[in-house]
Amino acid sequence: MTVSSERKNMRKVALTSLAGTSIEWYDFFLYGTAAAVVFPKAFFPQDLPPMVLLVISFSTFAVGFIARPVGGVIFGHFGDRVGRKRTLVVALMMMGAATTLIGLLPTYGTIGVAAPLLLVLLRFIQGLAIGGQWGGAMLLVTESAPATKRGWYGAYAQAGAPVGVILANLAFIGVSMNMSDDAFMSWGWRLPFVASIALIGISLYVQLRLEDTEAFKALQASRKEDDNPTTVAPSPVIEALRRYPRRIMLAAGAFLSVQVTFYILIAFTVAYGLNSPTVNLSRDAMLTAVLIAAGVMVPTQFWFSGLSDRLGRKKIYRWGAILTGLWGFALFPLIDTGSLPLIILGITLGMTFLGMQYGPQAAYFTELFTTEVRYSGASLGYQIGAIIGGALAPTIAVLLWNELGIFFVSLYILLAAGLTLWSLSLLEETGGREL
């Protein structure tokens, strides 16, 4: 393969990964936005106080995080056994089906308690899918990229998260602006969920047009050479836990700052802006602020990821955690002004500091593990960090705000950043490591 064709193929892999992860995260984040503005009224009894309904709704949001490590284990096993591509395809199709079904789900007023139960089940399936998708999309890009540009290309997989936030918020804003509030709450909110059926088309493209990574092909070739019918190969997940237990848990710890702060920025701030008497902005205004912040996060992620190829993963990641922890104390005073430009500034800088961590993370987690257990090891670290950090972040933030005051939400962000810095201090630098 010539240099130009290699570059063309790399761009195709990177852009396909970006498209797939963007819609996958769109589906996952769509639920978070709906949990803040729709589900408390649509899927739960209305004789409860609004704050209690919000806590319950965000608790169902957490179910997706509980499922993510399970998805990481299942898809990690098959990703290290049968390949990155096939496993990614199954995860994409699972997410597309679950999200579409949420859009078709009857409300509490129609089928009673069965409505929230079915909602929780479909959210669990979403969690399984996202638990498997991240490892497949991330490795498809980073294992295909040259060592000197692994951080930069890894950002294509990571950019799916903020792009997903943009798409989810655009979908809700676009629908709500073109109909009355009653129509939106009655049926309009369903349209963005049903639109996720497009993910099935992307999964078919991945299956038909992309090849698996050279690192995995080399691993398959070595397995064929060493094939012994009397030997039972160990599970990649069990092998990853046996060989890298400390590294997996430290990778999870390094992810805490990103997870806690990200879900506070994209979900809790919307609920805070709608329910705080000092802010009291409209739904569309808060969603627009989050949308603009996510839009800025995308190019900053790429810039910091490319910088990590030159300066090292840990240095960029560490400064991102420091700035995130400190910015939590500026975020809510800016929101409390009720000024939309200042609210946009607060959320945008928070997302920028997260990009310093999340952008280089794909390359960093790829380089922490060897090829035969890389899907399992990286997915376990990522998803354990996700459930510890992100699962209850909006719920904990609501409880802290309601019981102790908004200052304690800032302390929560600082605590997560401190745990990330401690984990990073115990992990080695991996920049440019051969796979």
Measured CA to CA, the distance from residue 199 to residue 97 in angstroms comes to 9
DSSP string, 266-328: IIIHHHHHHH-TTT---HHHHHHHHHHHHHHHHHHHHHHHHHHHHH-HHHHHHHHHHHHHHHH
Q: What is the distance of C-alpha 38 from the center of its chain? A: 21
Measured CA to CA, the distance from residue 130 to residue 123 in angstroms comes to 11
- Torsion angle in degrees (nearest 10) through CA of 217, 219, 11, 308: -170
Q: How many other CB atoms are there within 10 angstroms of residue 47's CB atom?
A: 6
pLDDT tens column, 363-392: 999 899 888 888 888 888 988 898 888 877
Average pLDDT value over all residues in the chain: 84
Q: Which residues of 135-158 are buried (b: 16+ CB within 10 A; e: fewer)?
A: bbbbbbbbbbbeeeebbbbbbbbb
What is the chain's Cα-based Rg?
21
Q: What is the mean pLDDT of residues 130-138?
A: 78
* Domains in the chain, CATH or no CATH each: 10-210+235-425 (1.20.1250.20)
Report the range out of 135-149, 155-169, 214-228, 341-355 with the highest average pLDDT: 341-355
Cβ-Cβ contacts under 8 Å for 401 (sequence gap 6 or more) = 272, 408, 409
pLDDT tens column, 79-96: 777 766 777 778 888 888
Measured CA to CA, the distance from residue 292 to residue 119 in angstroms comes to 29
Residue with tokens 């129609």: 110
Measured CA to CA, the distance from residue 206 to residue 71 in angstroms comes to 20
pLDDT band at 231 (very low <50, low <70, confident <90, very high): very low
pLDDT band at 131 (very low <50, low <70, confident <90, very high): confident
The pLDDT value given to residue 230: 45
Query: Looking at 4-111, which runs of residues are DSSP E strands?
Result: none
Measured in degrees and rounded to the nearest 5, phi and psi for residue 391 equal -55, -50
pLDDT tens column, 284-317: 888 889 889 999 999 999 999 999 999 999 999 9
pLDDT band at 218 (very low <50, low <70, confident <90, very high): low
